[in-house]
Amino acid sequence: MAWYFILFKQLFNAGAVRQISDIRPVKWDDGSIAWINQTKLPWNEEWKRSKSIPELAKAIKDLEIRGAPAIGIAAAYGIAISAANTAGGTEAIMKSVEKDAKTLGETRPTAVNLFWAIDRMLKKARSLAKAGAKHDMIAYELAKEAQRIQEEDIESNKMMGRLGNKLIEDGDVIMTHCNAGALATGGFGTSYGVIRTAWQEGKDIEVIATHTAPLYQGARLTVWELMRDGIPATLITDNMAAYAMKNAGVTKVLLGADRILMNGDVANKIGTYGLAILAKHHHIPFYVAAPVSTIDQVGKKIKIEQRKPDEVRNILGRLIITVPEVPVLNPAFDVTSHKLVSGIITEHGIARAPYSSSLKRIASGK
């Protein structure tokens, strides 16, 4: 590119303010939880509201609320609701909170943020009970704690955006998978937070989003967010990834995570592992962005959620595309070896290999 063109572009970008959208997929709404029903996007922006734990648990299971940090935040609100819903003394409240925590914890097994948020809420409830707090105080303090979890998540996303932005160069073509945007978090995005920060900073980037079969979080949700933000985007089917890496100028792969082990292995949406292998073959850096709440500091193995076969036999429950009785494999996530990961962007810094020491430092906040 000629020097005068680069200079013109820099001067132009310096004056331009790129607006990005503000979406919070879950909200505390005067004692209820409100959420945007993500199964209806991008066609309908339907908001739901509930004070019922079974309804909330179903919404998480059915992916009306989805994405690792967002389901943790939703469960935290659920625990606050559980305390408010229960009449009686501290013992009755604690019994109900522990029971509802179990129900919420059984919704999805892979994303560690769910268990992290439930644990944090239970610890808070137990310490309030131990200190002799009464019903209204417990309910009030738990609602505040859940709201804090959401605010902290947004802040850590923004920090990841600032740190990750240093890896993004003008002219990057970034391939992403699934949705790790505002919809999947408290409200800014993990890997998509990095992309939107780079865009806001005036960087000239493009995004290639995969469909993300079988539930199409890439096509339905990431594209929806990209279009709202005005970020140049191209959609591909999952089986076009190798072609795009070879022929469409992909310079980075950047995506989120549902659980990261201390050795750097990453569980994320099914198909991530394949993208990591393809990136390695094409010498393309493969980055993961996730908050510290996604790091599993104790586990050694990751339970992969197996979902209903009909999600594969049908397209979004609308069109049967095969013989109805065909056996199906439907793992929602896969695990990518740390050997394929170029770096893990967190709010406390970017972890690099060897991950066992860099993640230890990051998880301890040092």
Does 293 sit near ligand MRU (CB under 6 A)? no
Which range touches ligand MRU (CB under 6 A), out of 39-47, 64-72, 73-81, 308-316? 64-72
Q: Nearest residue to ligand MRU, using CB?
A: 256
Which range touches ligand MRU (CB under 6 A), out of 160-168, 176-184, 314-322, 352-360? 176-184
Does 150 sit near ligand MRU (CB under 6 A)? no
Q: How far is the CB of 116 from ligand MRU (least distance, A)?
A: 13
User: Which residue's structure tokens are 């990453």?
Assistant: 266
Give the dihedral sign, CA 39/43/49/50.
negative
Does 59 sit near ligand MRU (CB under 6 A)? no
* Cα gap 22→92, rounded to integer Å: 39
Which range touches ligand MRU (CB under 6 A), out of 89-97, 118-126, 134-142, 177-185? 177-185
Among 156, 268, 293, 358, binds ligand MRU (CB under 6 A): 268
Does 259 sit near ligand MRU (CB under 6 A)? no
Does 269 sit near ligand MRU (CB under 6 A)? yes
* Cα gap 244→173, rounded to integer Å: 10
The rounded radius of gyration (Å) of the Cα atoms in the chain is 21
Residues 6+ away with beta carbon under 8 Å from 36: 23, 25, 26, 45, 46, 47, 48, 183
Which range touches ligand MRU (CB under 6 A), out of 63-71, 77-85, 239-247, 342-350? 63-71
What is the separation of C-alpha 356 from the centre of its chain, rounded to a whole number of angstroms? 23
Judged by CB under 6 A, the chain residues 313 through 332 that form the site for ligand MRU are: 332
Comparing C-alpha atoms, which of 187, 8, 178 is closest to residue 110? 178
Among 256, 264, 271, 343, binds ligand MRU (CB under 6 A): 256
Does 72 sit near ligand MRU (CB under 6 A)? no
Does 180 sit near ligand MRU (CB under 6 A)? yes
Among 33, 57, 68, 292, binds ligand MRU (CB under 6 A): 68
286 has which bridge partners? 253
Does 112 sit near ligand MRU (CB under 6 A)? no
How many residues are there in the chain?
Answer: 366
* Cα gap 276→351, rounded to integer Å: 17
Which range touches ligand MRU (CB under 6 A), out of 66-74, 89-97, 339-347, 358-366? 66-74
Does 257 sit near ligand MRU (CB under 6 A)? yes
Which residue numbers are catalytic? Answer: 258
Comparing C-alpha atoms, which of 328, 309, 212, 323 is closest to residue 270? 212
Does 65 sit near ligand MRU (CB under 6 A)? no
Residue 145, φ and ψ in degrees, nearest 5: -60, -40
Does 222 sit near ligand MRU (CB under 6 A)? no
Q: How far is the CB of 177 from ligand MRU (least distance, A)?
A: 7
DSSP letters for 220-288 = IIIHHHHHHHT--EEEE-GGGHHHHHHHS---EEEE--SEEETTS-EEEETTHHHHHHHHHHTT--EEE
Cβ-based nearer residue to ligand MRU, 97 or 175: 175
Asked if 339 and 355 touch (Cβ cutoff 8 Å), the reply is no
Among 174, 178, 231, 276, binds ligand MRU (CB under 6 A): 178
* Cα gap 363→42, rounded to integer Å: 36
What type of residue is 1? M
Judged by CB under 6 A, the chain residues 92 through 111 that form the site for ligand MRU are: 111
* Cα gap 97→74, rounded to integer Å: 14
Among 66, 259, 313, 348, binds ligand MRU (CB under 6 A): 66
Does 161 sit near ligand MRU (CB under 6 A)? no
Does 185 sit near ligand MRU (CB under 6 A)? yes
What type of residue is 91? E
Residues at the contact surface with ligand MRU, assessed by CB under 6 A: 63, 66-69, 111, 178, 180, 184-185, 190, 217, 255-258, 268-269, 332
